[in-house]
Amino acid sequence: MESTVDIAKLSAELEHLATFTDAPPPAVTRVMLSDTDLAAREYLMRLMEEAGLTVRIDAAGNLFARWSGTDPHLPAVATGSHTDAIPHSGRYDGTVGVLGGLEAIRSLKRSGHLPRRAIELVMFTAEEPTRYGVGCLGSRLMSGAITGRKAEKLVDGDGVSFGDFHKRAGGAGTLEEVRLPRKHFRAFVELHIEQGPRLEASETPIGIVTAIAAPASLRVTYVGAGGHAGAVLMADRRDALLPAAELAVAVDSTARNLGTTDTVATTGVLDVHPRAVNSIPSRTYLEIDVRDVNESRRNNVLDVIRHQAQAIGDRHRQETTVETINADAPATCDPQIVKVIEAAADEAQLTSSRMISRAYHDSLFMAQVCPTGMIFIPCREGLSHCPEEYASPLDIARGVQVLAATLARLSSE
């Protein structure tokens, strides 16, 4: 199919969306359902309506913009991503999938495509965990991975519950009703920047995701005994930093020694109390992130780390607590959709490469709802979640072209 992507219009829209920010440009801060996010949503809904799409908002604030198909009885094909942005991040994470999805639909309309199935553009609420500490809140609710009742009770840093806050989005119904029935969508395809360096380094314009590694995290606390750094002799100490340090090394070597590159484990948080140079640490707090595309292997690693955390704590005579914060299932992309994307890239004479997404996306939860696929495009130096995040207009246009051809094919089935 000939590309009819209007990259000038799309680039201007991406630029305009970036002006809805609570941080000074080029940084973007757009936290879910803040005044700034609400203004950005108004802008997006205007663009969706200008494109002739029918907009619906669910109770969680997820936006659905529909282009009806010739057969209204068939489940729709969906595309989309998120437009919320963590504090001081960039302008392409998520937005390329929403505005790019919109441009894919407009380009199909311009080319005269008549979809048999409806095509829906989805903007998910709160892919980022900034306000409520839970990632992918909108798609998590759609999939039923979190119930409406549980989501209602989430409380943000200001003590405001999501049960009250979600009403700001102006959506209809209850949070329980956000969950999508099975076979609601025929397929979901998300366009996203890679957020890693591989595509740019290998000069590959299109990445096709085959699986999404799912995150799990643990919280470990050690309580030993504090005291004066000069007065307490070494033999009498129960320094809480020592088991924490040992555990951080054990976490790293556990993942390293498995002999696979697909398991990654990180100790991202280590807080020391009271954190004074002349005081023996009495308490330490760690958060550990473990990811893998293979769920049973990931769960084994979690078991090993929990066991190590306890054993190391016992050896250092510490009061030890180990909690699981979350342990999501990984997702496998649908093999047929992978092939459709691959064929679309071939047809556009663009090299593509299959890859694993090590970051999570709304697609992780959409894969529980319907057959799902993801298209990655390169971003400069793999940088993301920072103001330096950048994807070139050429790469974005190529991604949109492949997405449009994929939607054309899937909506004709």
Q: Which residues bind Zn ion (CB under 5 A)?
A: 93-94
CB of 84 vs Zn ion, minimal distance in Å:
9
- Rounded to whole angstroms, how far apart are CA atoms 141 and 176? 8
Contact, 169 vs 35, CB < 8 A? no
Name which of 13 and 84 has its Cβ closer to Zn ion. 84
Residue 24's H or E segment, with its range, is none
CB of 357 vs Zn ion, minimal distance in Å:
10
Give the chain's length: 413
Q: How far is CA 356 from CA 243, 297, 374, 403, in A?
A: 34, 16, 10, 18
Residue with tokens 């282009």: 67
Name which of 89 and 318 has its Cβ closer to Zn ion. 89
CB of 212 vs Zn ion, minimal distance in Å:
12
CB of 269 vs Zn ion, minimal distance in Å:
22
- Rounded to whole angstroms, how far apart are CA atoms 44 and 23? 20
- Rounded to whole angstroms, how far apart are CA atoms 289 and 302? 9
Contact, 49 vs 72, CB < 8 A? no
**Per-residue H/E/C for 85-142:** EEEEECCCCCHHHHHHHHHHHHHHHHCCCCCCCCEEEEEECCCCCCCCCCCCHHHHHH
Name which of 66 and 361 has its Cβ closer to Zn ion. 361
CB of 127 vs Zn ion, minimal distance in Å:
5
- Rounded to whole angstroms, how far apart are CA atoms 69 and 293? 35
Name which of 5 and 193 has its Cβ closer to Zn ion. 193
Nearest to 286 by CA among 240, 337, 224, 326: 240
CB of 30 vs Zn ion, minimal distance in Å:
12
Name which of 94 and 373 has its Cβ closer to Zn ion. 94
- Rounded to whole angstroms, how far apart are CA atoms 371 and 328? 18
Name which of 94 and 196 has its Cβ closer to Zn ion. 94
Q: How many CB atoms lie within 10 A of CB 12?
A: 12
CB of 254 vs Zn ion, minimal distance in Å:
28
CB of 229 vs Zn ion, minimal distance in Å:
45
Q: Which residue is nearest to Zn ion (CB)?
A: 94
Name which of 137 and 218 has its Cβ closer to Zn ion. 137
- Rounded to whole angstroms, how far apart are CA atoms 134 and 47? 29
Name which of 94 and 138 has its Cβ closer to Zn ion. 94
